[in-house]
Amino acid sequence: MKEHMPIVYVVSDSVGETAEFVVRAAASQFNGGRVEIRRVSYVDDPEPIKEVIEAAKEVNGFVAFTLVIPSLREFIIEESKRQGVHLVDIMGPMLEAFQNVVQMEPKRRPGLLHQMDDEYFRRVEAIEFAVKYDDGKDPRGLLRADLVLIGVSRTSKTPLSMYLAHKRIKCANVPLVPEVEPPEELFQVSPKKIIGLTISPNELNLIRQERLKSLGLKAQANYANLDRILLELEYAEKLMRKLGCPVINVSNKAVEETASIVMDILKRGGGKA
C-alpha cells in the first residue's frame, strides 16, 4: 500500500474551511488521515488560481475548490485541464442539485455562510454562556440557562455543553458530589430543562484512571476507586429521581450522539430519555 499522501490545495473565494473539512474527512479513510493541505482563501481573480494549479502539478498533488463566481469556476476548470491536474469541485454538484430542485438561480456571492447574522451572534452568546457557567461556577446562571446538565465528574458535561452551545443552546452544568450540597437554584429550575448524565461504573473507572495518568497521578487514587464511583453514581441517581429530570446513559456514546438525544428531549419539551 502506498504510504505517501498527496498535497491537496484548497481554493476558495471565501475562508475555505468547508473544502478543507471535506478533504480531511476523505483523507481519514487513507493512511490515518495524514495529509498536507495548503489553503488559498479569498480568491477573487484568476492569477492565484493559475499559480496554485502550477504548484499542484509540480508536486503531483491535486486541487479541491469551493468557488461560486462563474468566471473563476470556469477558469479553474479550464486551467486544471490544460495543466493535467486533478480537480475536485466540492460546491458545484450541491449548487446544481439545489438549482434543479428549487428552480432558482444561486446568488453566487462568496462567504454567505460566514456572514455575521443573528444566528452567528446567538451562537457566540451561547458559547460564552457555556464557558461562564461551566462546572457550577456561578449557580445564578442556572435560572437563565436553556438547559442544565448534571452528573458526576467525567460524564462529558463540559464537552456536551460546548457542543450544544454551537447549536445555540445556552447550557450550564453542575457537578454532583456526595459531600457537596447542590445549589438551591437547581431546585428552582423546571425538571424539563434539566438533564442528568450517568455512565456505567466500569467505564467511568477507566476514564478516571486515564485522567489521573494524564495528570501524573497514581491510578489508585480515591477518585478512580470503584467503591467511590458506585457511591457517587448512587448519590447522583437519587438526586436525579428527586428532581424528576430525564436521564441519559452516556456509556460508549460520542458527544455528538448524546447531543442528538438531548435535542430530541428538548424538542419534546422534556420527559424520559
269 labeled part of a ligand binding site: no
- Cα–Cα distances in angstroms (integers) from residue 182 to residues 173, 191, 224, 262, in the given order: 11, 15, 22, 22
Listed ranges 5-19, 68-82, 213-227; the one with the highest mean pLDDT = 68-82
Q: Which domains does the chain have, with CATH numbers?
A: 7-114 (3.40.50), 118-267 (3.40.50)
Give the contacts of 210 (CB within 8 A, at least 6 positions apart): none
Under 8 Å between Cβ of 193 and 265: no
- 158 marked among binding-site residues: yes
d(CA 241, CA 243): 5
- To the question of whether residue 71 is assigned a binding role by annotation, the answer is no
151 is in an annotated binding site: yes
Q: What mean pLDDT do residues 143-147 have?
A: 97
pLDDT of residue 50: 94
Confirm or deny that 190 is annotated as ligand binding. Answer: no
Q: What mean pLDDT is predicted for residues 194-213?
A: 94
% of the chain residues with pLDDT over 70: 90
**What pLDDT was estimated at residue 243?**
97
- Lowest pLDDT segment from 49-58, 120-129, 186-195: 120-129
Exposure string for 80-95, b = 16+ CB within 10 A, e = fewer: beeeebebbbbbeeeb
Average pLDDT, the chain: 89
- Contacts of 273 by beta carbon, 8 Å cutoff, 6+ apart: 195, 246, 247, 248, 261, 265
Name the residue with higher pLDDT: 67 or 171. Answer: 171
Please check if 66 is assigned to a binding site.
no
* Percent of the chain topping pLDDT 90: 63
How many residues does this entry show for the chain?
Answer: 273
260: helix, coil or strand? helix
Q: Which residue has the cell 442539485?
A: 97
- The β-bridge partners of 60 are none
pLDDT tens for 243-263 read 999 999 999 999 999 999 999
| Residue 70: predicted pLDDT | 87
Find which of 70-74, 111-115, 176-180 is predicted with most confidence, using mean pLDDT.
176-180
pLDDT at residue 82, rounded to an integer: 95
DSSP H or E run through 197: strand 194-198
Q: What are the strands of the beta sheet with 36-40, ordered from one edge?
A: 36-40, 7-12, 62-66, 87-89
The residue among 41, 32, 97 whose CA lies nearest residue 64 is: 41
Q: For 82-140, how does the pLDDT look when each residue is reduced to its tens digit (9 = 90+)?
A: 999 999 999 888 777 777 877 877 665 555 555 556 677 888 899 999 999 999 999 99
What pLDDT score was predicted for residue 199? 98
198 annotated as belonging to a binding site for a ligand: no
Lowest pLDDT segment from 101-105, 157-161, 170-174: 101-105
In the numeric block, which cell numbers belong to residue 215? 495528570
Please say if the pLDDT value at position 195 is more than 60: yes
Distance in angstroms (rounded) separating the CA atoms of residues 259 and 273: 12
Q: Where are the alpha helices (DSSP H) in 173-225?
A: 201-214
Cell of 180: 457537596
pLDDT higher than 80, residue 34: no
Q: Is 157 annotated as a binding residue?
A: yes
Cβ atoms of 70 and 108 closer than 8 Å: yes
| 99/145 Cα distance (integer angstroms) | 40
Looking at residue 31, what is its pLDDT?
Answer: 67
